Amino acid sequence: MSTRRLLLSLILFHLTSTWSAWAYADEGMWTLDNLPREQLRTRYGFEPDQAFLNRAMQGTVRLASGCSGSLVSREGLMLTNHHCVIGCVQALSTADEDFVSKGFLAKKRGAEKQCPGMEVNQLQETSDVTAAINKATHGLEGEAFSEARKNVFSALQNACVEGNAERIRCDMVELYQGAIVHLYRYARYPDVRLVFSPEFASGFFGGDPDNFNFPRFNLDMGLLRVYENGRPLSNRVYFPLRESGAKEGELVITLGHPGETERLLTVSQLQLRRDHLLPFQLMLESEYRGLLNHYSQGGDEPARIARSDLTMLENGLKVMRGERQTLVAAEVMQAKREEEDGLRTWAQQQSEAVAVKNPWDATQQATSALRNFYPEYLMIASGYAFRSEIMGFARWLVRAAEERARSFEERLEGYSEAELPAIKQRVIAQRPVYADYDVIRLTWSLEKLREVLGVDHPFVRTVLGKDSPGAVAKRTIEGSALADPDLRVKLWEGGQAAIEASEDPAIQLARIINGTARLLHLKHKATVDAPMKKAAKDLAALRFARFGTSVYPDGTFSLRASFGTIKGWKEGDTTVSSATTFASLFDRATPYEPFQLGEAWVQASKAIEPSRRFNQVSDNDITGGNSGSPLINAKGEIVGLIFDGNIHSLGGAFFYDGSLNRAISVHPEAMITALKTIYPAPHLLRELRH
């Protein structure tokens, strides 16, 4: 799966640079206003008109939590991945009714269940605000630059939501490292309901062992419905499913929201990632994985409780391992270094107007700064040390109350009026809390706090005193009443006064944390984030001057299109073919997780044509956030549902290798067969017009 996925290539045959010639026609995640039209025309004979672009924008949606999706009926039915809805399915499950294990299918509208805290965004309008921002930040450096930038961002966002932040969401989209900034206005839909999710065993068949691998057999699909004013959304544009999919060689297009690529990072940034940040996270999260793994062995109920966390964690670990593996390949770093040296030499030869302040040295300085305090920053400010649902609520409540009490200019980034509704929705969402699970996770993460920063670190001493991590966790979680959503609503609405009056131990601990965390955020902003952004912008300006604008920007979790064809690849001497079938799925199945098929599948196996296709690969350039993206043909019909990349694509965070990188999607034949034969859902098939 690929939520916020950034990816690896163990064997690198070809190394192409984003900024060199457009070596692979299929590289790139393009904004709709800057498609590679010439290449599309010559390579595929495809010339997208305005109608196509409008449909692309209106038919594609985004889950604010980090996935993509598409509308597939006129009544708000939305297709995305199983792994994008699993958090909702988990939240709706109880010990008595475990929809994760057995799947979920609403037989009628009334049975569709609201997903707590889920938010769907549909892009309505984009505008270029680069000029306004450049004007506001002209001639500024360092903290002054970043303050001015934050303020003009907030002002633009606040104007954009038109006082209706409940229904409108406005995001600043920083393209090309912020050299171009767009303002994206989305319709916000906070009422999203679960329609269909297969059982975990099919949605994530092969589990972590098969994740990022191919051949593959995941029915990684989920159906949601977007509601407005308590009724299904009435939408004109949607994408129909084309059951037969696409032919090899035919143009296929992903539309979605690639979260983050980092193809333009400097060598010093990549080294920091390779040697410090990734290993730190990999060790920490690996240990957490071992903990959750053993917790899950405690019975069906613990397994159910931890399943979604564990799945996401394992996915993230595989991604980070892949990233690290890519960065330790000598060829990759060498290529990045040569590219950087080339640009640097070129810049030195230019007139002063072009040769801006050395962005590499500025970046190097910022990476050195971060190297000295990232453990504190990650543990305290990013909250790695406070893993618990209760502490999550408490930290959001305390932070939001404090920021809301400040003037607009003094707030931390992310707390403008326009952004508060999304935070509120997360805080007051009806999510189940499992106290034991919370105590175990908080205990462990407080132990890591002590381990990473040391027994004698002042913050550790403040949090623990003469107590143990276990004692603090138990007292905090068991003494807290924040599991009650009504209390959270009350605390949210009571603001800073209510927080200060609260004797809830989780709120009290969160207040201690927030004091230090806020200082670390400000330090990070001043010494790392702002200088890096400024340097990245300077670098982008240099690149523009040298290469022009016929290139695509890094992923920013905003709407992009990527182009390609259904296509296998060569793995050493072996050719991996482009699609799998039901026949090979049934062959791979065993009586044990994660290769065990549900009873409905075993029952249906005889009735299914074995040659029907299951999963397929194409060479579209995707990354995390593209999960749930429709794969469409030139007519706008869905010919696949993107859910992952192959193992080689794990280097995609840093570069695209067209000979090996593949996107993996669910074939429409698998989706329709599932709804027809395995989980009979004639009402949904009718709605999908099949």
Binding site for a second copy (CB under 8 A): 206, 208-210, 213, 275-276, 279, 282-284, 286-295, 297, 321, 324, 328, 440, 444, 450-451, 454-455, 466-468, 470-471, 590-593
Neighbouring residues of 610: CB distance < 8 A, sequence distance ≥ 6: 581, 582, 583, 586
Pick between residue 327 and residue 427 the one whose CB is nearest to a second copy: 327
Give the torsion sign (CA, 120, 122, 123, 125). Answer: negative
Pick between residue 130 and residue 365 the one whose CB is nearest to a second copy: 365
Pick between residue 59 and residue 206 the one whose CB is nearest to a second copy: 206
Pairing of strands 77-80, 60-63: unpaired
- Return d(Cα 10, Cα 328) in angstroms, integer: 10
CB 217 → a second copy: shortest distance, Å? Answer: 12
CB 523 → a second copy: shortest distance, Å? Answer: 19
CB 343 → a second copy: shortest distance, Å? Answer: 22
CB 402 → a second copy: shortest distance, Å? Answer: 31
Question: 476 and 505 in contact (C-beta within 8 Å)?
Answer: yes
* C-alpha closest to that of 372 among 272, 290, 234, 509: 272
CB 275 → a second copy: shortest distance, Å? Answer: 4
Question: 65 and 207 in contact (C-beta within 8 Å)?
Answer: no
CB 451 → a second copy: shortest distance, Å? Answer: 6
- Return d(Cα 164, Cα 186) in angstroms, integer: 12
Neighbouring residues of 88: CB distance < 8 A, sequence distance ≥ 6: 115, 116, 118, 192, 194, 224
Pick between residue 243 and residue 451 the one whose CB is nearest to a second copy: 451
677: helix, coil or strand?
A: helix
Q: Which two tokens stand for residue 438?
A: 């919370």
Report the phi/psi class of residue 438: left, alpha or beta, with left for phi > 0 and alpha for psi in -120 to 50.
alpha
- Return d(Cα 339, Cα 15) in angstroms, integer: 12
CB 593 → a second copy: shortest distance, Å? Answer: 7
Pick between residue 328 and residue 522 the one whose CB is nearest to a second copy: 328
Pick between residue 266 and residue 514 the one whose CB is nearest to a second copy: 266
- Return d(Cα 430, Cα 64) in angstroms, integer: 17
Alpha helices in 297-431 (DSSP H): 300-327, 330-348, 359-376, 389-404, 420-428
CB 306 → a second copy: shortest distance, Å? Answer: 11
Pick between residue 66 and residue 651 the one whose CB is nearest to a second copy: 651
Question: 280 and 375 in contact (C-beta within 8 Å)?
Answer: yes
CB 309 → a second copy: shortest distance, Å? Answer: 13
Sequence length of the chain is 690
Pick between residue 475 and residue 690 the one whose CB is nearest to a second copy: 475
Tally of CB atoms within 10 A around 607: 10
Pick between residue 544 and residue 595 the one whose CB is nearest to a second copy: 595
